[in-house]
Structure 1
Amino acid sequence: MAPQDRLSAPARAAPLLEVEDLTVSYGRNEVVRKASFALGRGGSLALIGESGSGKSTIARAVLRLLPAGARATGRVTLDGANALALSERRFRPLRGRTIGFVPQDPGHALNPVRTIGAQALEAAALLDVRDRAAGKALVLETFAEVGLDNPGRVFGSYPHQLSGGMLQRVLIGLAVLPRPALLVADEPTSALDVTIQKRILDLLSRLQRERDIGLLLITHDLAIAAERTQSLVLLKDGQVQEAGSAKAVFFSPTSAYARKLHADVPALNPDRYGALRDPGLGRLAQAAGEASKIEVRGVTKTFHVDGKALTAVDAVSFSVPAGTTHALVGESGSGKTTTIRLLLGLEQPDTGDITVAGERLAGRGPDALRGVWRHLQLIYQNPYTSLDPTWKIEQLVREPLDRFGIGSREERAARVREALASVGLGEHLLARGPATLSGGQRQRVAIARALVLRPDVIVLDEPTSALDVSVQAGIMEVLLTLQAKLGLTYVFVSHDLALVRQLAHTVSVMHRGRIVEHGRVADILDNPRQPYTRALRASMPAGISGTARGVPRRVPILAEQSLP
């Protein structure tokens, strides 16, 4: 059966959007090849694939937003009209009115120097609302519909005054305000915490149902796609690998690529790295009564902003035995980042004490901490911004050795090659720059850079949140293999409990600067005592059944915070 033949009956019966043999080229390079699918009015379809698979290119082709020099052939039928054959003048009125768009990053989609209201009134103008008061009333009504508390305050705010979740609700509101028949949502939750992600996806599902909108969802997460849409189209290297109903693709994938994506979703495979985690569990069992590698005791940190005191970390305590992984979990603003800055000595606590391998960090300046930093390294969140783009890979990995004056020139070169080999990268990359590498390769370089000093402790600050799930799985395997082999101690910062379950041995759940729950990962996830922990756990996507191994059915999410 051909991929397009497995599409659901509603999509074939009354196509709102029909893509036939779509091919998109940049010069001689074909990035999408003969893609075909259909989406019915009021239906939902997900385009799934890793970065570079062509899913966003297809969305841009449907929206007629391909960059200059791109060429699209085939047929894209939108509400009965061949969109590719229309002139720009004839297609422009369809944007907003017939087809709406929710972009990936809310932080870059809005003009930072104009108020939300000023930008929202432009969307209202698509409905030919000429009176400003009527337009504002319509905007406020829409903001309330998408779940924004105090719409009037949002209307008068600038983008930087709103949280990421609120900005994404604003963008959804602007997209649905002109009441389009089709809504294209390009990775609308990839930059958000898992609890906010659930609220945004719930909102899109509700709007689709209540307004009879066709939803085209772009995502790299098979579980989210299966849970939220009726039909799935899997793409790899610009070609459709598999297509069909969500149930068919999720439960009975016919392609190796679909099976691999399923295996790479943390929530669906919580025990995937069980054998690699076992050495750490053994060390955890032996650690009773022994000094821990990391000790954080009663640490508090308060900042003063605009004359107000903000306690970012409040009496936080935890310990990490050598050779194990401890996770700090919580939403943005929970205090995770401040805690690791204190652990790294980049901030000093107001009260409390921190020791790493028996050395106290509190009260010590940069010079005194230099020796500690040699054995305590950090892997940053975003591999695209953490590496100097003007340096070669060899320089990037060697820099820590240069700064600490370790070894001769030949010894440093040997340690650089050894560090790269330990993360699965070859010497042929030494003379290349970061821009020539994929996201997964860049993050492996960042890990090699941290390992080259042979540290005892590595702090992992959301090390895979900017990566596709397949690339993320490869990085997790590298980290756990290194820990099992070298006995490394990790502090892992994340908002994703599914990923924490795969990697960590113990966990502290943080909320508003305090640890609300602490213990072994299995105990916390299987039997959480606090509502906040249950809310985090319930936000883990589990596919269309609503359940997965170790993942119970969803429970109500805590109410989203209003404007500060």
Structure 2
Amino acid sequence: MAPQDRLTETLDRVETPTSPTRHAGTLLRVEDLSVAYGTHQVVHGVSFGLRRGESLALIGESGSGKSTIARSVLRLLPPGIGHAKGLVDFDGHDVLSLPERRFRPLRGRSIGFVPQDPGNSLNAVRTIGAQAEEAAALLDEPRAARRTELVLETFAQVGLEDPRRVYDSYPHQLSGGMLQRVLIGLAVLPRPALIVADEPSSALDVTIQKRILDLLSRLQRDLDISLLLITHDLAIAAERADSLVVLKEGTVQEAGSTATVFSSPASEYTRRLHADVPALNADRYRHLRDAGGDRPGGERPKIEVSGVTKTYTVEGEALTAVDDVSFAVEAGTTHALVGESGSGKTTTIRLLLGLEEPDAGSIRVAGEEVSGRSHALLKLARRHLQLVYQNPFTSLDPTWKVERLVREPLDRHRVGTRQERSERVREALDSVGLDEDLLSRRPAALSGGQRQRVAIARSLVLRPDVIVLDEPTSALDVSVQAGIVEVLLSLQAELGLTYVFVSHDLALVRQLAHTVSVMHRGRIVESGPVGTVFDDPREPYTRTLLDSVPAGFGTAAVP
């Protein structure tokens, strides 16, 4: 019997007097909920109900009010700033009107919370065990040794292989997937009636995401827990929730059973969300992708990586991050590197960009060797080889205005006159669909999608031949992501750009890339055209990655 199969058995022994008596019916009822931050109202008259043992997903883009609604249920709105009115009824308790001293026993015991970012949700200077004991205090178990034992049992049951090591570790010593399992374990430890999960897998690899969502689904079923799932991904919501509430700018666009909302969406907004999910629309950009791939290339590939190896020494031991990696990219096409965290993708692109030197092998861009160049020659090569970083919220200097951010590569390479540089900045902005009015803004005054478009404009301003895209949309909503993908493919079709696209999102890779290399533990285990590799994978690891992609109701007809 697997450890997680014993979860009900263990937690059934824990008696929690404040836990509500289980019976059929509605557990959480929200009616006419409105929330304001100061004078700015962000949620407008939202209503929905969640039955015991069932799951409901709140879906929508950033700013739609999903997390604000969840925090209203949890009474975690910023004190003195956030104000909620309406009705939030949890198992007969009027959450919004209860004094804090009477609501506090419900939070944790009866309502569990799994936050979005495990890296920022745990205290970095305290061990996992020290923080777990705070959750164990909710069990009303007087014996400290027994509380610790229950924590370790729960860690095992949520799939943590060495519970004692996890208990003794600090957060930075665990992976993102392990930290998320810790948070789920702490949430279910008191066996609450309701778990609120706020984007519980958005920062994780696709395989880890599936394991986390499978775990939540199993716990919900085995422990008869209701699940309020917050997500922007319609495919995940359709696959995991019994019912949906679709939100836009704090208002409900539509609500109902998952099957009904997904197969016959009533609102244009829901139809657009459906269209923006890569897993549900693999051929959405086929015309643009084919236009780029059909561009005639040169006699030899634009990028040639041959037998590249890179080894680091960590605590006296050799760690091979990239092991005999080879691939080629034809001019005007997109080649994707896919795999889980630690597979060697990032090290490979650092070698390609000349930020690291390989221990063995050769890397050529446009026939020129990248490694072994002097600083001056490498700087010259980078005029034709640019990078778009993963996170638009941290990759742009917050003190600079957009004009300076986009112009800086021209300044560094002393390209043209001041007037010519200004013209090229405006051309670059226009090519990514941004207006000149944004030139005087700083990053804080831009949305996530606008920031990433600025980053792409910055990479284009030198008119490079090759752009390396390192998870360029992973921090963005699916609708914003769709806009970025369309910009990238349009630019490729128009300018003949060559892309190396690094991602763990195989659904997005299918939309965007022509060829793919699957990396696992530093090696390429499978490579070829995207259609061939994804439709008929040879390797078990590739099949595991593909099986982890949320499918939702993939065959549903959407008007």
TM range (shorter): over 0.9
Taking the aligned partners of 1:488 and 1:89, their CA distance within structure 2 comes to 61
Deviations along 1:53-98, one digit per CA (max 9) or x if unpaired, are 0000000000000013111000000111100001111111111001
The 5-angstrom pairing of residues 520-539 of structure 1 reads: 520-539=529-548
**Paired residues of 1:297 and 1:316 also in contact (CA < 8 A):** yes
The 5-angstrom pairing of residues 158-173 of structure 1 reads: 158-173=170-185
Q: Which residue of 1 aligns with 2:490?
A: 481
Deviations along 1:420-439, one digit per CA (max 9) or x if unpaired, are 00000000000011101110
Give yes or no for the alignment of 1:61 onto 2:85.
no
Query: How far did 1:27 drift?
Result: 2.1
Taking the aligned partners of 2:526 and 2:488, their CA distance within structure 1 comes to 25
Query: What TM-score, normalized to structure 1?
Result: 0.93
1:120 aligned residue (132, 142, 145) = 132
1:258 aligned residue (239, 250, 270) = 270
Secondary structure (helix, strand or coil) at the match of 1:362 reads: coil
Q: Which residue of 2 aligns with 1:446?
A: 455
Q: Which residue of 2 aligns with 1:429?
A: 438
The 5-angstrom pairing of residues 236-251 of structure 1 reads: 236-251=248-263
Secondary structure (helix, strand or coil) at the match of 1:296 reads: strand
Q: Which residue of 2 aligns with 1:80?
A: 92
- What amino acid is aligned across from residue 165 of structure 2 in structure 1? R
Deviations along 1:120-149, one digit per CA (max 9) or x if unpaired, are 111111011232210111001111111110
Secondary structure (helix, strand or coil) at the match of 1:430 reads: helix
Give yes or no for the alignment of 1:398 onto 2:410.
no
Query: How far did 1:160 drift?
Result: 1.1
Deviations along 1:530-561, one digit per CA (max 9) or x if unpaired, are 0000011111111146x689xxxxxxxxxxxx
- What amino acid is aligned across from residue 314 of structure 2 in structure 1? V
Taking the aligned partners of 1:457 and 1:244, their CA distance within structure 2 comes to 46
Give yes or no for the alignment of 1:152 onto 2:164.
yes
Query: How far did 1:325 drift?
Result: 0.3
Structure 2 gap ranges (5+): 1-22
**Paired residues of 2:525 and 2:539 also in contact (CA < 8 A):** yes
Q: Which residue of 1 aligns with 2:25?
A: 14
1:102 aligned residue (106, 114, 117) = 114
Give yes or no for the alignment of 1:48 onto 2:54.
no
Q: Which residue of 2 aligns with 1:560?
A: none
Percent identity, please. Answer: 75
Q: Which residue of 2 aligns with 1:316?
A: 325
Taking the aligned partners of 2:112 and 2:291, their CA distance within structure 1 comes to 51
Taking the aligned partners of 1:351 and 1:500, their CA distance within structure 2 comes to 29
Deviations along 1:8-27, one digit per CA (max 9) or x if unpaired, are xxxx9711110000000112
The 5-angstrom pairing of residues 187-266 of structure 1 reads: 187-266=199-278
Give yes or no for the alignment of 1:28 onto 2:39.
yes
- Alignment coverage as a number of residue pairs: 534
Taking the aligned partners of 1:548 and 1:85, their CA distance within structure 2 comes to 42
Give yes or no for the alignment of 1:540 onto 2:528.
no
Q: Which residue of 2 aligns with 1:111?
A: 123
Query: What TM-score, normalized to structure 2?
Result: 0.94
Taking the aligned partners of 2:24 and 2:139, their CA distance within structure 1 comes to 29
Query: How far did 1:279 drift?
Result: 2.2
Taking the aligned partners of 1:347 and 1:279, their CA distance within structure 2 comes to 34
- What amino acid is aligned across from residue 39 of structure 1 in structure 2? L
Secondary structure (helix, strand or coil) at the match of 1:84 reads: coil
Taking the aligned partners of 1:31 and 1:13, their CA distance within structure 2 comes to 33
Taking the aligned partners of 2:273 and 2:419, their CA distance within structure 1 comes to 42
Taking the aligned partners of 1:385 and 1:367, their CA distance within structure 2 comes to 27
**Paired residues of 2:292 and 2:489 also in contact (CA < 8 A):** no
Deviations along 1:398-426, one digit per CA (max 9) or x if unpaired, are 00000000111111110000000000000
Taking the aligned partners of 1:460 and 1:365, their CA distance within structure 2 comes to 25
Q: Which residue of 1 aligns with 2:279?
A: 267
**Paired residues of 1:461 and 1:492 also in contact (CA < 8 A):** yes
Q: Which residue of 2 aligns with 1:143?
A: 155
Give yes or no for the alignment of 1:370 onto 2:379.
yes
Taking the aligned partners of 1:504 and 1:132, their CA distance within structure 2 comes to 55
Secondary structure (helix, strand or coil) at the match of 2:440 reads: coil
2:83 aligned residue (71, 75, 79) = 71
Taking the aligned partners of 1:366 and 1:331, their CA distance within structure 2 comes to 32
Taking the aligned partners of 1:275 and 1:30, their CA distance within structure 2 comes to 42
**Paired residues of 2:329 and 2:335 also in contact (CA < 8 A):** yes
Give yes or no for the alignment of 1:519 onto 2:531.
no
Give yes or no for the alignment of 1:496 onto 2:508.
no
Query: How far did 1:365 drift?
Result: 3.5
**Paired residues of 2:263 and 2:556 also in contact (CA < 8 A):** no
**Paired residues of 2:279 and 2:508 also in contact (CA < 8 A):** yes
**Paired residues of 1:228 and 1:544 also in contact (CA < 8 A):** no
Taking the aligned partners of 2:37 and 2:289, their CA distance within structure 1 comes to 45
Taking the aligned partners of 2:37 and 2:340, their CA distance within structure 1 comes to 40
Taking the aligned partners of 1:509 and 1:25, their CA distance within structure 2 comes to 46
Q: Which residue of 2 aligns with 1:175?
A: 187
1:507 aligned residue (491, 516, 536) = 516
**Paired residues of 1:280 and 1:505 also in contact (CA < 8 A):** no
Structure 1 gap ranges (5+): 1-11, 550-564
Runs of 4+ in 1 over 3 A off after TM superposition: none
